[in-house]
A and B are shown apart, each in its own frame.
Chain A
């Protein structure tokens, strides 16, 4: 199984500042035939289901604010939230879908306001 590890487990960021979350997979999720990274990011606010933010490591889902961006390739990825807003308080998960048996998620990163 591909193990996905996020860091940090939690972080506190001041309003308007940048939050950076890292995600590392135990093996590359870059598919050479199409040069796509099979990695997604989800946001889960308290009491709500997860919401897709980013797929293919850097493609923003429709309707997601452009302050959210994804980067990285191979085994190392980053979710960046610029100009942090109060409504961005949530737990963020990365997920690999390179190996779908099984799909695996990172353990989650909790983002709070400092």
Chain B
């Protein structure tokens, strides 16, 4: 069974940093590109960042480029999101999402980890 379990979300002050993790199991992790998608309270889905199976070609939303860094460790079946210079508008539930091996749509999602940026 495919499982994606996010962790690391917490309350952080504006300007602070945080590292989110996503532990993957039930599939061959390095067969898939992976992504982070966030959802602000009561709002829709916003793609944040994505990374290819081999860690190459990371991509970012304009809203986070230069502040967030996506990475992965295939040996540990884990995906990460390093978040710096956090702002109130980064407050959201952060989902880890797997890209299908045959396409670019997201076929599995984790339950999410909440990040609150507040003083």
Contacts and interface: CB of A to CB of B under 8 A. Distances in A.
State yes or no: do A and B come from one complex.
yes
Interface of A: 38, 40, 42, 44, 48-52, 55-56, 61, 91, 93, 95, 97, 100-108
Interface residues of B, number: 23
A101 B50 CA distance: 9
A68 B53 CA distance: 31
A108 B95 CA distance: 17
B109 A40 contact: no
Nearest to B93: A49
B45 interface: yes
B61 A97 contact: no
B105 A108 contact: no
A53 to B, nearest CB: 10
A102 B95 contact: no
A113 to B, nearest CB: 21
B47 A103 contact: yes
B109 A105 contact: no
B65 to A, nearest CB: 10
Given A103-B50, A105-B45, A49 B105 contact: no
